Every structure is written in C-alpha cells, then in structure tokens.
Amino acid sequence: MTTGAVAALEVADEEFLVASLIERCPKAMMIRELLMNAIEAAQQAPQTRRLIEISAIEIDNTQKLCIWNTGPGMDAGELLRICNIASSIGKEKSLTGNFGMGAKVASLPSNQRGMRYRSCKKGRVHEVILCKRDGIYGRLRRHFPDTGEYLEVIDVTDLASKEGRSLDEDWTEVVLLGNSVHQDTVKDPYSGDPEQDSQWLATYLYHRFYRLPDGVKVTLLKGTNKLDGNRQFEPIPARLRHFEKHESVRLPSGIVVHYLYDAPYDKASGTGHNRSISGAVASAVSTSAVVYRNEMYDVRRGRNWTFDAPIFGIPFGAKHISIHIEVPDDFTVVPDAYRQFLRHTAGEQPHVDARDFAGLVRENRPEWLIDLIRSLAPDSASNDEVRSELQKLLNHLRVKRVSPKVVPNGPTNVTAGSGPAIDNAGSVSSGNGGEGARPKPSDLSIVPTGAKRAEMFKNLERAPEIFLLYSEAEVEEKGIRGRAALYTMEVGQLFVNMLYPAIGEMKSQLEAEYADTNDPDLMRSLVHQHAEKTMILRVGRTVVYALAKQLNKEWDQKALDTASSPESLSMAADDFGDAMQNVRRAIGKALRMKRNAGDAIESTEAAA
C-alpha cells in the first residue's frame, strides 16, 4: 500500500513470519492470553452474566482443557477473520493493550494438533480449528464427503445443543486439543515441556491476575482444581479476609505498596502452610511482584523471594510476608510483545525488576510490620562484642582516607593546593568573592558540594548487624546451604550459617588436641565458644575489608559485591588455620586457670 510519500512495508515470506511469531512465544503465556480474551468479552455481557468457566471435557477418551465465556458471540465470517494473526473484533489495537495476537500465538506451540474455537451468536454456533499441518500454521480445512467441499468454518449448532450448551445467549469457547490425541491438556498443557504439577492452573491464575473487572466471575469446574466440585477463582486482593494483617501505602509518585502478613496456618501441625491456604485452590506461598494494570509481573515466590527479601527490609519472616508494588497506569513502563515482562520505556528499556523498588518498600514499611519482623528475628545480642570489634576495624580502615602524609622529615598534614580536582586555570581565593574564589573541579568523580551519600551506602558506615542461623530452615530460607554467610549490602546485615562444616572441623581438631584434659565438659564448652566466635569474626572481617574498598576508585560496585559474596565469605571461613594458635592459647589459659583454682581449693581443704 502506498499513501502519500511512504510505501508501506510488506511481508515477503508470510509463512516464515507467522511461524516465527508463534514459535518464539513463551509457552507459559498461553493461559494469560486465553483468559484475558475471555475477560474482555465477559465484561460486555449483562452484569449478572459476566461468566468464565474453565472445565475438563472428554474428547476421544482424553481430558481436554476448555475455556468458556459469555459476551458478544461471532458469526461465521467474524470467526474466520478473528483467527488471523493480529486480528481483533471490537477492540482498538494498542502497544499497551490486548491487541489480538496473543491467544493464537501463545497457544499453538502446545496445541499443534488443534485448538477448537466455537462461538454462539443469535442462537447459531460456528466452529473453526487452528492447527499445524505439514509445517504450516493455519485453519484446518474440514471435508464434507457428500459435497466434496473443504471448509474452514462449520455450523455445529446441533452438536453444541446436544452437549448441553445454551443457545439463548452469546458465548465463546476454546478447547485445547494439545499436540496429540492422547495428551491430557488439563494435567499436561505443554506436552511435558515444561512439566506442570497438579495445581498449575490455579497457581498461574493467582500469580498473574491481581484483580478481575467488576462483576466478572471465573470458575474452575470439577477436575480443573485440587479441591472437590466447582471453585471460584478469587485473586489475592479478594482474599484479604484470610490474611492476619495487611496495609496499602500510597506514595506521592502514585505507586502503591501492598504489605501482607499471612500468618502460619497451624503452628502445632508443623505443616508450614500459611493461613490463606484455607479454601484456596492453589498454594498460599508468599510472593513479591510488580503490579501493572491489574496483572502481576516479575513474580518471586518460595526460595527466590526469601533470598531477595532482606533488601526489601524483610530479613526474617518472608515466607509469611508478601510485597506487591503496584505502579500507576501511566507509569513509564510498557509490556513486551508477548506480555511476559514489563520494560522501562527509557534508555535501553531493561526489564522491570521488583528489586528496582526495594528502597521504596523498605523506607515505607508500616510500624506493625517492622515490629513483626523484629519478633521473628533470632537473638543477636550475644554478638554485640563481635560487632563492636568489627566496628573498630571499620573505623580504623576508614581513617586511612584522612591520615597524615608521611615524609622523610616526619608526618605532616596534607595542605590545600593543586591536585586532580583542581583546574590549572583556577586559583585559591583570598576571600574577595571573585571568580577565582573557588577551585574549579575538572574531575567529575569528585562529589559536588551539597551532595549526600546515597541511602544504601549509609549502611556501610557501620559494622554489619549479625544474625546467627542455627536451623536448616533458616539456612535454606537465606539460600546459603553449603555457604558460610550472606551479606546484604543494602541493609548492612550479615547472616552467618552456624551449620557450616568449617565450624565442625575446627571443633573436632580442638577437641582431639585437648582430649586428655581434666575437665572435658569445660573444654567442650570453650571449644564450641571459640570455634563459633572465630568463624563469625572471619566472615565479619572479610565484609569489613570489602566495605573499606569503597575508598578505592578502582573498585566498582560489582567488585564490592564479589568481595562480600557468599562464596568469598565461605573461603574466608574455610581458611581458619592461622586462627588456631590464638584459640589454643585462649583455651589453654582457661583450662589452666580452672586447674589452678581447683588445686588451691584442695590445698585449703587439706590444711583445714
């Protein structure tokens, strides 16, 4: 097409383009696209009939997943057109809206045998099947032996009526036939790649759709949920009655942060479930996510969430606490073409990450949540001595920046004058306020007057807060199984794995060396105390030395992160050999003092 001064681009190889669009689409987007189409249609039905039903129907003795919704139906011509790529009826195409490509593109890779569309309009039901045959995606041509015709759209009104579908209102239905006759698309929607658990469908809905439009009801019929009978899907905000505490904090930017506390279901049972599991058709694990236009993006759950939680200001209790960051509709983000991710609209358009908002979440935590987190934290009071020692070391290392300059004639303070931040054309003022009153900086790395340290770096001014993890669950939650410690730089917190093998190895060596002591109980107590303190100090000192490197221009943030990583801290813990001599002296001294005290008591008793 040519209009004005521009000749529109055309597609030279349509088959390749269609196949490329379909086969590049993430398979997991299939349910999102199908349900979003159903929601948009159901919204246009009468208020009391905005219904979506997800069911299991039997075809050729195999269960197939079916999504049915009320709303405007399609006649034969409309159904034919809607099956084209990027085609839509009654919707404006938009880069930020649901623009007619997704459901077909996302579903066909896992339904190459076919996806059956049926739609009822004014009492007539028509059907079309999208599929892949001989390497080509398209509409299946159906053969009528009586006439010899091959048609892409057929009238199935009588069949639909016999199957129990009403002809009194408009509706649309999609059935996923999978990649083979025997594929159960209710339990195995992606033909084993990837594999799904028994509650995959409800879990996906819970972790994608944050709200449903007014009046729209989604029901998972028997066979599509883990419970008995039919169950209505309720997104998270509709289930807040099951949460012990929740609060939404609206920020000046328009962002709303939702803080949710899902208390343990039953501590006595030891199941580990959260209370909101009651009546839920999916698991009730806590999550973090970015919410945009009522959909959830960058959803983190389980270990992925608990590992990241400390930077959000939730060092403990993350398995019971959810954080949802809801950005306004006009926020500077846009979904990617397949609606799997959000992208920032500026610069290189990186993916939107929930961690981008960690500082906002941390700074705006409600008081009740802060108190709750404190109540869940292990006692760190016993580490005050270690932390004090680390603070002294940190203070000493930071003093290096302002130390006197040492010269052959003795120490002297560094005087003002030319240097890397002084423009040679500038001069030092004599106080007259003229143009030469201040040196002109030429090094952009020098912090300008009036600037302050970024919030996250204020935590680096002090020694890390130390938390000792003694249980397998605590270690697993922090993601440091097989690691000595985890340091969270953003909040200045150090989590030490007290089950780390190096501690046990140190204890074994020391107990073997002092096996012939007269007081084995005291010896074991001393060994335990010194082995643990040594490990805490070793990882703590490694963190402090890493923090001190921020004074070095050659060390960027990536280098600082590497120096204080769990792997670096683990190697520091493993290399405890050079600390053994000091520990031996301390243990030997304590044992001698105890032995001498005992000898003195015996002498006094003998003299009496």
The one-letter amino acid at 607: A
CA distance 207 to 498: 35
Q: Under a CB-based contact definition with an 8 Å cutoff, are residues 523 and 517 in contact?
A: yes
CA distance 440 to 435: 10
C-alpha triplet 531, 533, 536: angle, nearest 5°? 110
Q: Under a CB-based contact definition with an 8 Å cutoff, are residues 503 and 586 in contact?
A: no
The one-letter amino acid at 325: I
The one-letter amino acid at 271: T
**Strands (DSSP E) found in 395-478:** 405-407, 410-412, 465-469
Domain count, the chain: 3
- Do both 113 and 76 map to the same domain? yes
- Do both 97 and 173 map to the same domain? yes
CA distance 368 to 198: 36
Please give the structure tokens belonging to residue 523: 């010896």
Contacts of 255 (CB under 8 A, 6+ apart): 325, 326, 327, 328, 331, 357, 360
Q: Under a CB-based contact definition with an 8 Å cutoff, are residues 510 and 587 in contact?
A: yes
Domain with 546, as residue range(s), is 379-396+453-608
**Residue 100 phi/psi, 5° resolution?**
95, 0
CA distance 184 to 59: 10
Of 318, 345, 376, the one marking the end of a domain is: 376
Residue 130: closest CA among 65, 183, 79, 67? 79
Tokens 């009730």 correspond to what residue? Answer: 284
- Do both 33 and 173 map to the same domain? yes
CA distance 515 to 591: 12
- Do both 339 and 388 map to the same domain? no
Residue 406 lies in a domain: no
Residue 402 lies in a domain: no
- Do both 56 and 204 map to the same domain? yes
Residue 410 lies in a domain: no
Torsion sign across C-alpha atoms 534, 535, 536, 540: positive
- Do both 318 and 386 map to the same domain? no
Query: What is the predicted pLDDT for the residue at 418?
Result: 42
CA distance 339 to 26: 9
Residue 54 lies in a domain: yes
CA distance 201 to 205: 6
pTM for the full predicted model: 0.78
Torsion of CA 379, 381, 386, 392, to 10 degrees: 130
Q: Under a CB-based contact definition with an 8 Å cutoff, are residues 418 and 424 in contact?
A: yes
Residue 163 lies in a domain: yes
Q: Cis omega before residue 420 (within 30°)?
A: no
Torsion of CA 247, 217, 212, 190, to 10 degrees: 110
- 346-384: per-residue pLDDT in tens? 888 899 999 999 999 999 999 999 999 989 887 655 577
CA distance 44 to 74: 14
Residue 425 lies in a domain: no
Q: Distance of CA 591 to CAs 209, 519, 530, Å?
A: 65, 8, 13
- 70-121: per-residue pLDDT in tens? 999 999 999 998 887 655 555 544 444 544 357 888 899 999 999 999 999 9
- Do both 358 and 387 map to the same domain? no
- Do both 77 and 198 map to the same domain? yes
- DSSP β-bridge partners for residue 327: 292
Of 322, 341, 376, the one marking the end of a domain is: 376
Q: Which residues of the chain fall short of a pLDDT of 50? A: 92-96, 98-100, 269-270, 399-407, 411-438, 601, 604-608
CA distance 169 to 413: 89
Query: What is the predicted pLDDT for the residue at 454?
Result: 56
Inter-axis angle of helices 501-513 and 580-607, nearest 10: 40
Q: Which residues in 464-494 are b (16+ Cβ under 10 Å) and which e?
A: bbbbbbeeeebbebbebeebbbbbbbbbbbb
Query: What is the predicted pLDDT for the residue at 394?
Result: 83
Contacts of 330 (CB under 8 A, 6+ apart): 254
Query: What is the predicted pLDDT for the residue at 287?
Result: 95
Torsion sign across C-alpha atoms 205, 211, 213, 217: positive
Inter-axis angle of helices 384-399 and 520-548, nearest 10: 30
CA distance 135 to 76: 26
β-bridge pairing 485-488 and 124-133: unpaired
Residue 546 lies in a domain: yes
Q: State the CB neighbour count (10 A cutoff) for residue 341.
A: 18
- Do both 260 and 294 map to the same domain? yes
- Do both 56 and 119 map to the same domain? yes
Torsion sign across C-alpha atoms 488, 489, 494, 500: positive
Q: Under a CB-based contact definition with an 8 Å cutoff, are residues 394 and 547 in contact?
A: yes
Please give the structure tokens belonging to residue 260: 């949710």
- Do both 164 and 183 map to the same domain? yes
- Do both 108 and 166 map to the same domain? yes
Residue 354: closest CA among 300, 402, 405? 300
Q: Under a CB-based contact definition with an 8 Å cutoff, are residues 191 and 183 in contact?
A: yes
Alpha helices in 179-311 (DSSP H): 200-206, 302-308
Of 341, 376, 411, the one marking the end of a domain is: 376
Residue 411 lies in a domain: no
Query: What is the predicted pLDDT for the residue at 210?
Result: 97
Please give the structure tokens belonging to residue 210: 């944050």
